[in-house]
Every structure is written in structure tokens, then in C-alpha cells.
Structure 1
């Protein structure tokens, strides 16, 4: 397994991680036995960076990983998150970055995962009501207490990242990053990460499955699939984005790879400090994703892919309006 460094002074982790969210919810029916088999295979193949959060399930995803990793804790670099607060309404999200909540949240995650420390702990979304210095200060106390090894932020702006870094070193910034979600590049966050020596952990590098070319209609989604709520997957937006994916399919066919492998290869080619964590709950897709590590893009191929997916060409925002408000710019 290829390795990449998590931040300027961080550890080596697998060059591609595994996002575990979909093993518990958001994308239709789940199959726990297949999810556990997928986790087993990931470890066999040398994937060390596993990504979860207390909000996934909620709580169920951490419990799932806790069962999967029993007796194998030392094989993985385990990341979880706090601060995205769920309610009885599955479509409602809140945020909480208060120091007392940070201390409470980590205890819950450690208990559900059945471990003594997390390797990486992210603030899932920045709380606009709490100074980032207070939140990261509380997170730093967890490092001093031995409950967390490294700290991260998710969907934070450059300004927030700079302020956080002044309190405690930030190893990773997690953000959606793919051919059709290039906010970290477009808004200067990736440049800030590089100035500060922070790794970019790219979630949804396959555009929530769209960039694989497997989706043909909004009717492909189960009734409880999150993507039914996403503007990019609705109505005319779906058709416009599907036309872009068809061009990726053509380029991938000419290269002898799948559209998803081409999309992942593009993310990997954006820099050694970028670590994609495509999510999957099936072994066959895990194998396909890992094969992207062997795909080499020429400069011309990379430029052509970037040209296809300019912000003006991608139709729809990546989250519903209420959820977009939780994403810092």
C-alpha cells in the first residue's frame, strides 16, 4: 500500500483511506455482514486510515467499527469527529463546539469504539457561536490527556484554520473534494493547508457515487437515500451533471479504467498532501477504488478532466441550503 504523510509533522497513513459513513445510513439499505467483510478486506489490503463520526447512525457507525477492530486496533489509524448534532428530524443538523461538549463527545466515541485513544479527532463542523480558539483549546486538552493523538477540522475556512493552528497544530483538514467539488482549490483553503503543513483529507472523492457512472436516474435511489435531498441529484441538475459524467466515461474507456478510477486518480494527482477517503460498504467497490492507486494521469489528461468540471458547468450545490450554511467559505 502506498503511503502519504498526514501533515508536515504527522504520521504515514495509507494513500487512500476508507470512509465508513455509508455502512450505517444515508445511502439506502445497509448490510452489516458485508460492511464487516469490507472492513476486513480493507485491512488485508493495507488500508490504515478509517474515517467515522459520532453523527453517523448516529452512533451506530462507531459501534460497528468497534466490533470490526476488536483485537486489531494497532493495524489502523482511526479518525472520528464530533460537533455535528443530530435531532429526531433526520434532515436537521446542528453544531456544537463548546468545550464541555468536546470533552463529553470524546468519551462517547471512545466507549463506542472500545478504544483508549483516537488517532485523529476532527471538529465535524465549525460552530459559529463558539470561538475556534475555545474549541481547539478543549481538543488540545484531549491530546495532553492521551485520549487523542492528532487534531483536525472539517469544512473550515482558511481564516478559521489559521486561528486554530495558533492554538494547537492541526494535522488534517477534511473537506469534500472531487472533480465536481473543488472548493478547497477555488476558495484558497488548499493553499492555506500547504502554507501551514496541513493534509487535506478528501471525502466524497467520487461525488457520492455520481462520478462512477453507475447512476442513470434519480429513481436509482432508495426512498431514504440522502441524495434525493441533494440539489445536484435532482431534476434538470441531474441530467446536466450526467452529461459531464458521460464525458468522463469516454475518457476512462479510452484509458482502459473505470470512470470512478479515473476520478480518484485525478484527486490523487492533485498533490501528495491529499488523501482521499472514498466511502463504500461493498468489497467489490473497495477493490475497484484501490486499483485507482495504480492509474497514472498525464498532464494533458488531468487538465482535460479539470476543464470538464469547472464550477460553471456543475449544476446544483453539494448540500441542501440549510446544510450549506454549516460549511465555512
Structure 2
């Protein structure tokens, strides 16, 4: 059950609830709880500040989003406090965008130079502490790659991959495996303030709980896998539900079996390579031969990787070789039953492998 604040609304404040707002600039006033706010930046312009996005909740449990343009940020930033209740006046009401929606409300609030935002502290109506726009995995798949909405999700953190995980000031990108229900695991990427907040929670070490709500995500599908992009303390990956065969199948269908970093990234497999190597016990080897490959965000591999199976009379042998080229240095690793470990065998190579590779 949600908890409530008791606040006082002065009698001379002729405010309206969010569902009664009218388009345009007027003398309308609203009263609502500031749920969350965050900076909106232009990633194509070196992170240029575009403004601040706000989410308000009213006594009817209706959510509306507001926007403070960059020119007014300095004038309003000091008063912003999450979870506090405010009286807002002197704003403009416009239509909500059809893309990147963070609420179901068709309207949005835009701050003007005349906008006044006053905190309310006395006794009065009840307003919920929180509200989320939670979606299940089916809804996320429907929204994937559309940029129509930025919903919220709840789930269990299974594994976190990234650097400086216990540095609460680091905003470097990290990736986690996020379990939404018993059969659905997605990859969740965090960066910027979201990544910093997550690292701060890890650093506190006050709880072993790893279930969390993540807000305003942008669902994406890469190579048939679900990624939830967002603009917990775990040490061992859960590998038993990783379909390595699916990953290898995607790799083998590329024009050649020589896989480099850009190809892996385009296929959405750069993280799968890490988990695959770990499952084969090769992650420590990779670290020892070229530790600097982990300098890049989310421990991506700047390596050339190819997979080969020797031509033998019996495809059941399934022995294979992994070829690595790291910073110009070549490594060949012969692994018995590699194909069986990955669900990929000699016959698969015959069926799908490029003809010009005589050793495939």
C-alpha cells in the first residue's frame, strides 16, 4: 500500500487537478508531488544541457510531466526537491510529444519566466508518494525500437558488468542482466546519473536485496535479444540460461567467420562474447594476455575472434579452435568438444559457414 503525505492547500489557491488543465498559457494553478527530475542532454552535441524533465503526481493519482528549458534552469534548480509537494503557477500547457512518452497524459507543462513554484508544508489533501508506469516483457517487445514510450520495469538483478562498480562518482556505462519474470531475462544498460546512482547503492552494502524498479527505459531489440536502455551487488554471472548457440549462430551467418569488435557490437553480441569466454574458462586468459582490453566501457573486447572446426570424418568429434588476434598478437586455442559446449558443430559449419574458409 502506498504511503501518503498530508499537505495544506491555502483557500486562495484556486488550483485544478491535472485532468482539468486546458491548453495554452493561463492563470491555471496545480498542486502536485515532484516524483522525480533529471537533466535532459543532447548526446549529439557533447552532452549539451537542453533542460530539466520533471514528473508530478496529483491527488487523483494522475501523472504529468513538465519541462524547464535550459535558459531557466539556473532560476529554478534550487527549489527542486524530489518527494516534496509544490504549488505551480504561471506555466504553459502544451500537448505531450508522440515520441519518448514518460506518462500517459496527453498534456505537458512548460516552464516560463513567469512560472512560480512554491513548496507546501501544512495539512490538507492526500497525494501518493510514488507511481510507476510499469510494463511487462510483452509490452516491452511491442515498444522495442519504436521510441514511442519510456516505461518503467521491475525485476531482479542477476549480474552486473562494468568498471569501477563501487565508485559512486563514476558515470561510466554498465550492463546488467535483469530478470523480469521466471522466463524472461533482458540486458539493461545504465550510464550517466543513473549509472552513478546504481554504483552508490552498491557501495553502501547495507542490503543484499537485488530487486529494483528502473524508470524511463528505452526498450531495444538487437539480434533478437532484448535490451533495456536507461538515459545491486552481484559477483558471479548466471550462465545456465544463456543461449550460446543463438550467439554463435548469429556470428556464423556474417559474411565471414572473422568477427571483430564492430561486428559484435552491431549484432548486439559484445557482452555475449564475454560470458561465452567465461563459461569456457577463458576470461582469465584474456585478462592475462591483454589487460587493457577492459579499459573500454562495459569490458568490451577489442579483439578479432574466429571459430573453426577441423574437417574430420565424424562430425560428432566437434573439436574446435578459437582464434584470437589482440593488438596484432595471434593466439590459437584448441578446445576438445568446443562445438558441443557451444551447441555448434562441424555439420553446422558445413551448412552455414562461408565456402572460402577451407578449414570450416
Same fold at TM > 0.5: no
- Larger strand percent: 2
Tell me: higher relative CO, structure 1 or 2? Use CA pairs within 8 A at least 6 residues apart.
Answer: 1
Larger-Rg structure? 2
Higher helix share: 1
TM (norm. structure 1) is 0.23
